[in-house]
Amino acid sequence: MHVLLVEPEYYSRYPPLGLLKIASYWREKGASVELVRGCVPPDREPNQIYITSLFTWAWEPVWKAVRYYKNRFPSIRVQLGGIYASIMKEHAALSGADHVQTGVLAEVEDLVPAYDLVPEWDASIIQTSRGCNRRCPYCAVWRIEGKIKSTKNKISHLIYPGHSRIILWDNNILQSPNWREIFDELICLSQSKRIKVDFNQGLDARLVTDEVAEKLSKMQTSCIRFAYDNKSVRQNIESAIEKISRFGLRRRHIGVYILFNCMDTPDDFFERVRHVLDSGAVAMPLRYQPLDTLKYNGHVGPFWDKEKLEQFAKFRRVCGFGGVFPPYKWLLERFDKSQGFDEAFGLPQRNSLLQTRAHKDYYESWRRIQDWKTASNHFLAKDWG
C-alpha cells in the first residue's frame, strides 16, 4: 500500500498538518507514504490519494491538483479535505474529487504528525482543544468544529524530537477547562528545555486574568497576540495589555489583530489602530475576507469603498513594517494629530519628514531579511523611538 499526500501549490507559512497526521495513520497500518507539493509525478503509483486545501480563495490550485492526479491515476480514489473543502463542500465537489471530507478526520486527530516528511521544519504544531464557544459571525471555527471539545491536559508526548518550538493552534485555548494544566506544562518545557511557545491563533483578551498573565510571563514567548475585532472589546484589550506588561512582558512583544472592512467604518478602524499604538503594542491590521469568497481581497465592506481600501494599502506599504504598525514615535505623533481615517492614512508628501522616516534604510534593511527568525529578532529588539 502506497499513499500519496498532496499539498496544492498555494502559499502557506506552515506545513500541511492534516496530511502529516494522515501519513502517521497509514504508517501505523504498514503503508508507505509520499508527500508532494503541486502537480508532480510521484515516485511510485499510489493506492490512495489525499489532497488538502487552505482558504477558499486559494481554490484554483486545489482544483488543478485534483484534476492532475485524477487524470494521471483515473482508477485511484482521490479524497479532498481541509478548510476550503469544509466550508464550501459543494463547490469543492466540482473539482472532480471522489470524496470531499468536511471537518476533522477523527481517526488521525491525536496522532503525532510525520514531521520527517518536512525536515526543514523545526516546530511542533499542537491543538490542545478544538472549537470555540463564541459565535463570531465572520469566523469559520465554530461552523467547522463547534464548541470547545477534544481538550487535552498533556502535550509533551506530542512534541517531535529535536523541535525547538511549540506552535499552538487552539482557537480559544483559555476556554479549555484544562488551560491551567497546559500552561504549567508549557512553563516547564520553556524553563527545562528552553522551548519557545507561540500562541499562533491569539489569546482571548476577555479571558486574560492576572493568573493568565503571570503564567505567560514564565514561558519563552516571542509574541503574545490578541484580536480587536470591534469597539466592544476596547476595555478588554486595554486590560489584557496592562496585565501582560505588569508581569514583565514588554508591550512591543504584544501584537493586536485589528479586523477591518467588515461591519466597521474607516474611522472606527483608525481609532482602534491608534488605541493599540497608544498602548505601546503593535497594531496588526487584518482585512476581512468573507468565508465563502473565491477571490482574495475582492470584498468591500458596507461602510468602505475601493478607494479607501487602496489608500490604506498604499499607506501600509510605505509606513508599515511587514504589514504591521509598531509604535513608532513619529507614527504616534501623526495619529494623535489626525481627526479621522483620511488624515491619518493619507500618503505622505514626497520628500516630507514622514516619508523620510518611513523609508529609512534601517527599516528597509529589515524588509530584505529573508530568514524570518532573524527578522523577528531585529523587530522585537527595536526601541521604537
- pLDDT digit string, tens, across residues 136-191: 999 999 988 999 998 999 999 999 999 999 999 999 999 999 999 999 999 999 99
* Radius of gyration from C-alpha coordinates of the chain: 22
Class for the domain spanning 108-381? alpha beta
CA distance linking residue 237 with residue 235, whole number of Å: 5
What 3-state class would DSSP assign to 223? coil
Given CA atoms 52, 289, 279, 282 in this order, what sign does their dihedral have? positive
For residue 260, count CB atoms less than 10 angstroms from its CB and return exposed for 0-12, middle for 13-18, buried for 19 or more: buried
pLDDT of 374 > 60? The answer is no
Longest CA–CA separation in the chain, Å? 67
User: Cβ distance 198 to 222 under 8 Å?
Assistant: yes
Which pLDDT belongs to residue 350? 62
What 3-state class would DSSP assign to 371? coil
Which pLDDT belongs to residue 61? 98
Confidence at 379, pLDDT banded by 50, 70, 90: very low
What 3-state class would DSSP assign to 125? strand
CA distance linking residue 341 with residue 362, whole number of Å: 27
Alpha-carbon 115 to chain mean position:
19
Which pLDDT belongs to residue 150? 86
Q: Which of 286, 198, 174, 281 is nearest to 238 (CA)?
A: 281
Kindly state the cell numbers that stand for 226. Answer: 490578541
Q: What is the DSSP string of 204-222?
A: -GGG--HHHHHHHHTSEES
Over residues 94-117, the mean pLDDT reads 95
pLDDT of 369 > 70? The answer is no
Q: What is the average pLDDT score of the chain?
A: 91
Given CA atoms 306, 263, 257, 330 in this order, what sign does their dihedral have? positive
- pLDDT digit string, tens, across residues 59-98: 999 999 999 999 999 999 999 999 999 999 999 999 999 9
C-beta atoms surrounding 238 within 10 Å: 15
CA distance linking residue 16 with residue 272, whole number of Å: 34
- The DSSP bridge pattern shows strands 254-260 and 224-227 to be parallel
Confidence at 322, pLDDT banded by 50, 70, 90: confident
pLDDT of 366 > 70? The answer is no
For helices 266-278 and 329-337, the axis angle rounded to 10 degrees is 140
- pLDDT digit string, tens, across residues 191-239: 999 999 999 999 999 999 999 999 999 999 989 999 999 999 999 999 9
CA distance linking residue 223 with residue 213, whole number of Å: 13
- pLDDT digit string, tens, across residues 163-172: 999 999 999 9
CATH, range 2-106: 3.40.50.280
Given CA atoms 203, 204, 207, 208 in this order, what sign does their dihedral have? positive
CB-based burial, 295-310: b 16+ in 10 Å, e otherwise: eeeebebebbeeebbe
Question: Taking the model in full, what pTM does it have?
Answer: 0.88
Domain parsing of the chain, residue ranges: 2-106, 108-381
Lookup result for grid cell 529573508: 370
CA distance linking residue 205 with residue 174, whole number of Å: 9
Over residues 265-273, the mean pLDDT reads 98
For residue 253, count CB atoms less than 10 angstroms from its CB and return exposed for 0-12, middle for 13-18, buried for 19 or more: middle
User: Cβ distance 281 to 254 under 8 Å?
Assistant: yes
What 3-state class would DSSP assign to 127? coil
